[in-house]
Structure 1
Amino acid sequence: MRRFFLVMFVSSTGVIGVSCTAPPSFVPVECDPDSFFPAPECIDGGTDAGSDAPDAEPQAACTSQGGECVEIPDDPEAGFWSQVPWAVWFGPAADMPKECPFVGGEQLRLYAGLTAPPAQCDPCECQEATGQCSGVPGAITIGAGMCGAGGAPSLPFDGPGGWEGSCTGANALPAGAQCPPGSGVPCAQSITFSALPPPANETCGVKPSQIIKVGGTKSTEWETGALACRSSLDSSLCGAGDQLCIPKVHYPHRQCLWREGKHTKCPKPYDYEGPRVMYPFQPKESRECTECMCGAPQGGMCMATVRLFDDGVCSNEFHQRIVTSEDSPCDPILPAGRAIGGKSVTENVYVKGTCEAGGGEPIGEAVEDEENAVTFCCRPSYMFDE
Structure 2
Amino acid sequence: MKRTCLALALLFAACLEGCDLTSTVVYETCAEQCSTALDPDACIARCGTCPGQCVNPTPEGFDGPALLWVGRTVDEPQCPESAATTVYTGYETPDDPMECSRCLCGEPACALPDELRAATSMRCDGSMPVPLDARDILNGACVPANEALVSDRKSLLLGSPTVTPCEPMIELAPVPRILFSRWYRSGKACAGLAREGVCASPSKTCVPAEQMQDFSQCIMHVGEGEVTCPQDYPEQVVLYDGMKDERRCTPCECGPPTGSECSLMLLSYRDGACSDLLTAGVSSKDPGCIAPTPGVQPKSMKAIWHVNEPGSCEPSGGELKGEIVLTGPSTFCCQTRPGRNSY
Task: Specify the SS of the correspondent of 1:339.
Answer: coil
1:321-351: CA deviation from partner (whole Å, max 9, x where unpaired): 5844336779999xx9783333333467975
Distance change (3 Å), C-alpha of 1:105 and 1:131: farther
Distance change (3 Å), C-alpha of 1:136 and 1:354: same
Residue number in structure 2 paired with 1:232: 192
C-alpha distance in 1 between matches for 2:124 and 2:210: 110
Instruction: Confirm or deny: 8 A CA contact 2:119 2:130 kept in the other structure.
Output: no
Instruction: Confirm or deny: 8 A CA contact 2:159 2:283 kept in the other structure.
Output: yes
Distance change (3 Å), C-alpha of 1:340 and 1:360: same
1:5-59: CA deviation from partner (whole Å, max 9, x where unpaired): xxxxxxxxxxxxxxxxxxxxxxxxxxxxxxxxxxxxxxxxxxxxxxxxx999557
Residue number in structure 1 paired with 2:316: 358
Report deviation, 1:207: 1.4
1:144-177: CA deviation from partner (whole Å, max 9, x where unpaired): xxxxxxxxx9999xx974232453322434xxxx
Using the aligned pairs only, state the percent identity. Answer: 18
1:121-200 equivalences in 2 (<5 Å): 124-130=103-109, 132-138=111-117, 161-164=131-134, 165=137, 166-170=143-147, 171-173=150-152, 195-199=158-162
> Which ranges in structure 2 are unaligned for 5 or more consecutive residues?
1-29, 32-41, 138-142, 338-343
Distance change (3 Å), C-alpha of 1:330 and 1:249: same
Task: Specify the SS of the correspondent of 1:60.
Answer: helix
1:226-265 equivalences in 2 (<5 Å): 227-233=187-193, 235=195, 243-261=205-223, 262-265=225-228
- Give TM-score scaled by structure 2 length: 0.56
Instruction: Confirm or deny: 8 A CA contact 1:275 1:375 kept in the other structure.
Output: no
Greater percentage in strand: 2
Task: Specify the SS of the correspondent of 1:124.
Answer: strand
1:248-292: CA deviation from partner (whole Å, max 9, x where unpaired): 52444212222213542346xxx4342513233966554544333
Distance change (3 Å), C-alpha of 1:321 and 1:352: same
Distance change (3 Å), C-alpha of 1:380 and 1:299: closer
C-alpha distance in 2 between matches for 1:57 and 1:301: 99
Q: Which amino acid aligns with 1:280?
A: Y
- 1:326 has 2:285 as partner: yes
RMSD: 5.2
Residue number in structure 2 paired with 1:87: 67
Q: Alignment length, in residue pairs? A: 276
Task: Specify the SS of the correspondent of 2:46.
Answer: helix
Task: Specify the SS of the correspondent of 2:171.
Answer: coil
1:63-100: CA deviation from partner (whole Å, max 9, x where unpaired): 79xx425346253x1xx3224x321135xx45973322
Q: Which amino acid aligns with 1:100?
A: Q
Report deviation, 1:141: 10
- 1:342 has 2:299 as partner: yes
Report deviation, 1:232: 0.7
Q: Which amino acid aligns with 2:315?
A: A
> Which ranges in structure 1 are unaligned for 5 or more consecutive residues?
1-53, 144-152, 174-186, 382-386
Report deviation, 1:318: 1.0
C-alpha distance in 1 between matches for 2:49 and 2:304: 97
Q: Which has the larger radius of gyration?
A: 1
1:32-47 equivalences in 2 (<5 Å): none
Task: Specify the SS of the correspondent of 2:75.
Answer: coil
Instruction: Confirm or deny: 8 A CA contact 1:308 1:340 kept in the other structure.
Output: no
1:166-194: CA deviation from partner (whole Å, max 9, x where unpaired): 53322434xxxxxxxxxxxxx9xxx9975
Residue number in structure 1 paired with 2:57: 73
Given the alignment, which residue of 270, 274, 280 partners 2:234? 274
C-alpha distance in 1 between matches for 2:303 and 2:241: 66
Report deviation, 1:61: 3.7
C-alpha distance in 1 between matches for 2:56 and 2:260: 81
Distance change (3 Å), C-alpha of 1:230 and 1:162: same
